[in-house]
Amino acid sequence: MTMYRPLGKLGHAVRSLEMPIGRWLAAAMLVFVSGQLPAAEVVVAGVFPGKAVLMIDGGAPRAVAIGESRSGVRVLAIEGQTVTFEVDGKRSTLRVGEQVARQGNNASADRSLSVSADARGHFFLDGRVNGAGVRFLVDTGASLVSLGRDDARRAGLDYRAGQLIRTQTANGAARAWLVRVDELRIGGLVLHGVDAAVHERELPFALLGMSALNRMEISRESTVLTLKQRY
């Protein structure tokens, strides 16, 4: 029986997601939005019903309601800890506690992406599997990209046609199926034909394991992790 251990750190990572949620969110989100003009520095310092508190290009915090604009930044939606806004026609969506430092949006630029660690030291990225949105935790200890059942279904993966394996997780042994993902996309990074494991139960997030990461150059400086696609 093939043994596969992609989730050795999952229990700790799941516990690390337990963050207090109040009317004001203490953690801040930072994004540099690329466009034809110099990048705008947007800090989402907090949220409350119907409004986001923004600091734009180092300015003072200002409450911006959904649909309103400040200094070229327009708030489109607020859902729980997630804020979606638009700068120069480009949309960005961030969750509380994460920091996206730089993301290539120009097709002629290097295919690279940098992300800052959250308050617990973990690196989370929003990506797509076969076009379906998936939340990833970067995990160099996972040999494969790992998906939960629901993520796999939304991505149109017929995972039960794959090879059945046994995995060892923080919660004990579990079943999973080996599959091949046609397209995995994270920002400007696009990978094709990526091996993955689909677990029989839902996971709180997917794992971006070495079957994807070994196609990238990985570097870290302080709390910033940079991924650069090699092929």
Tens-digit pLDDT string for the chain (231 aa)? 333 444 344 433 333 333 333 333 333 344 443 333 334 567 777 778 888 887 776 667 788 899 998 877 888 998 886 788 887 777 777 665 444 433 444 433 458 889 999 999 999 999 999 999 999 999 999 999 999 999 999 999 999 999 999 887 667 788 999 999 999 999 889 999 999 999 998 899 999 999 999 999 999 999 999 999 987
36 and 150 share a domain? no
CB atoms near residue 184 (< 10 Å): 25
131 and 210 share a domain? yes
- Helices of type H across the chain: 10-16, 149-154, 210-213
Q: For 122, how many CA atoms within 13 A lie in the half-sphere containing its CB? A: 23
Q: How many domains does the chain have?
A: 2
Pairing status of strand 132-138 against strand 172-186: unpaired
Of 96, 131, 149, the one marking the end of a domain is: 96
39 domain residue, yes or no: yes
156 and 124 share a domain? yes
209 domain residue, yes or no: yes
Cα separation of the two ends of the chain: 32
63 and 149 share a domain? no
């097709």: which residue's tokens?
107
130 and 175 share a domain? yes
Tens digits of residue pLDDT in 131-168: 999 999 999 999 999 999 999 999 999 999 999 998 87
Q: Which domain holds residue 173?
A: 3-17+118-215
CATH number for 158: 2.40.70.10
- 90 and 207 in contact (C-beta within 8 Å)? no
102 domain residue, yes or no: no
